Structure 1
């Protein structure tokens, strides 16, 4: 049980596996006014940057669960580096279907709504671990502007145009699922650039060092096509943000 190798290669230098900068992540933690001792469950926690830095800065406690063995080890090392290994732990496992033994104060899934087979299922899954009055964080894409055709939608990693919603409709969708949107922090084009463009350097350096690897052809194809796809479509049309929700 693990992610395909291409994910590890693509984001080998990343501590945050979504289009948030460290500053955006810090802004989100500050905006939520987290109290010391807040219990957090982070599903699809990646390299653990949110849980580790918030434990350092706000003294939260909690657990991260991720399917990637590489990311889980990176998260554990980051907890030691920041001196918070006594307050946070990271488990290697499939976040899909994971429910906390006891309700937590804050439950999060930032950019991995596949764990619930889509937005509605992910919100339902996260809600099963959340105490009454607790906070839910969902990271989700949305359309920054109207997508001209299905080709552009597919270039933005949607199967079709209606896979993602414009921002107002996404906020409205959360209400339809029974939650108030009580905070949000949105990625901007600069933070998107830092997330996506850093992948290209990772790919190129890996390719130079591993020209004979069985993955080399796939890496070469991605490096040849993704910068154009990103600058032509994703940078203009695709937004992403983290939305803080409370159950109505």
Structure 2
């Protein structure tokens, strides 16, 4: 049980595996007013940057769950680097079926709502781990503008227009699920650039070092097409943010 190698190649230099800068991640932690000793559960935690930096900055305790052994190894290294290895734990497992043994103060899924087959299912999954009065964090893309064509939709990693909500549509969805939106921190074009453009250098660096690898043709094709696809469609059409929710 692991991620395909293409994911780890694409994300090799990243600590944050979504279009957030370290500053925005810090803003999120401050915005939800994390208290000392709060318990945080992060499903699809990636390289654990949120848990590790929040443990350092807010003295929280947390557990991250991810399917990638490569990402989890990086998460443990980062926790040790920041001196918080005794506060955070990283578990290899399927986040789609993970429920905390003891309910937590903050339950998060940042950019991986596919684990619940969409936002509603992921909210239901996280709810099973969240204490009454706790804060849920959902990271999710949304349409900034109406996609002009099916080509544009697919360039934004969607199969159909209905795969993503608009920002007001996403807020309405949370409301319909019985949750108040109490904070949000949104990516901007610069943070998108830092995330997506860095992937191109990661791929090129890997290709230069591994020209005969069986994945090389696939990664070469991605690098040849992705910068134009991103600048033509994704950069202007697709937004992304983390939304803090509290159940009514």
TM-score, normalised to structure 1's length? 0.99
Partner residue in 2 for 1:34: 34
Say which SS state the counterpart of residue 95 (structure 2) adopts.
Answer: coil
Show the 5 A alignment for 1:1-248. 1-248=1-248
Gaps of 5+ in 2: none
C-alpha separation in 2, matches of 1:92 and 1:43:
11
CA contact (8 A) 1:149 1:161 kept: no
Runs of 4+ in 1 over 2 A off after TM superposition: none
Q: Please report how far the alpha carbon of residue 96 of structure 1 lies from its aligned counterpart in structure 2 after TM superposition.
A: 0.6
Gaps of 5+ in 1: none
Say which SS state the counterpart of residue 101 (structure 2) adopts.
Answer: coil
Q: Please report how far the alpha carbon of residue 151 of structure 1 lies from its aligned counterpart in structure 2 after TM superposition.
A: 1.7
Say which SS state the counterpart of residue 18 (structure 1) adopts.
Answer: coil
Q: Please report how far the alpha carbon of residue 219 of structure 1 lies from its aligned counterpart in structure 2 after TM superposition.
A: 0.6
Q: Please report how far the alpha carbon of residue 221 of structure 1 lies from its aligned counterpart in structure 2 after TM superposition.
A: 0.3
C-alpha separation in 2, matches of 1:215 and 1:152:
26
TM-score, normalised to structure 2's length? 0.99
CA contact (8 A) 1:107 1:136 kept: yes
Q: Please report how far the alpha carbon of residue 237 of structure 1 lies from its aligned counterpart in structure 2 after TM superposition.
A: 0.1
Say which SS state the counterpart of residue 96 (structure 1) adopts.
Answer: helix
C-alpha separation in 1, matches of 2:205 and 2:182:
42
Say which SS state the counterpart of residue 9 (structure 1) adopts.
Answer: helix
Per-residue deviation, residues 19-40 of structure 1 (Å, max 9, x unmatched) = 0000000000011110000000
Q: Please report how far the alpha carbon of residue 163 of structure 1 lies from its aligned counterpart in structure 2 after TM superposition.
A: 0.9
Per-residue deviation, residues 173-209 of structure 1 (Å, max 9, x unmatched) = 1000111000000000000000000000000010000
| Aligned length, in residue pairs | 248
CA contact (8 A) 1:79 1:88 kept: yes
Q: Please report how far the alpha carbon of residue 8 of structure 1 lies from its aligned counterpart in structure 2 after TM superposition.
A: 0.3
